[in-house]
Amino acid sequence: MFISESPIHINAEKGSIAEVVLMPGDPLRAKYIAENFLTDAVKVCDLRNMLGFTGFYKGVRVSVIGSGMGMPSMGIYAWELYHYFDVKKIIRIGTCGVVSPEVLVPELILATSSYSESIFAYTFDNYEGHRTYPSKELNEKIIACAKDLNYKLHIGDITTMDVFGPYIDYDRVLNRIPKDVKPIGEEMEAFALFHIAKHFNREASCLLTAVDSKFSDVVLSGEEREKSLNDMITLALEAIL
């Protein structure tokens, strides 16, 4: 096994990344969070335009760094954050599609597990399962904060896909999922994040905003999308206090 002495994909200085990291998929959303939610935020990495910032939220040091799209990209950045920068907690904050009529656009979802047909984990360390799990303790903090903020939060299984759900016949995939898995949302990164976190014995959670649904024709306006994403960001930040 070859492991470089320094990170290959994150050009940050040692000590410049906080122990807690929020990870949106979009690096420009990381910039948005730094500019609108954090104080004294400074850019700490920008290699390949994967922007990362470190600042303070209500006095607590926090970093926000993009993960890119898909499990390979998430796997790279999560691995380097845990291994090289000794990050303790990562909260993925992203968007997802809805696969349950119980969830409305643009409500929030907290993943209790991720089911995937991917061989990401098998390739990584021969894990043959198709389900990975977040940190129970971190999830409990997020749930408690959602109650304090009076945010509606759906809690349940999600699926992590190798293919963007709206571009395929997703019902075909759903019909193959074991009956004990009852997904309410689908996205593309959480399975890898949870597995990498377990490998390092660190914490990870996944908060999602529902932005499209097979059960609804609702299309969010720009203002509605921003408001729903702001609620998700606020909830993740409050959970780290």
Burial label, 214 (beta-carbon count in 10 A; 0-12, 13-18, 19+): middle
Q: Provide the angle, in degrees to the nearest 10, between the axes of the packed helices 27-37 and 222-239.
A: 70
Amino acid at 158: I
Torsions phi, psi of 211, nearest 5? -115, -10
CA distances, 236 to each of 67, 83, 91, 121 (Å): 16, 23, 7, 26
- Residue pair 48/12 in contact (Cβ under 8 Å)? The answer is no
CB 201 within 8 A of CB 89: no
Q: Could you list the active site residues?
A: 212
How far is it, in rounded angstroms, from Cα 66 to Cα 219?
25
- C-alpha distances in Å from residue 105, one per residue of 94, 100, 205, 213: 14, 11, 21, 7
Q: Which residue has the tokens 């702001």?
A: 230
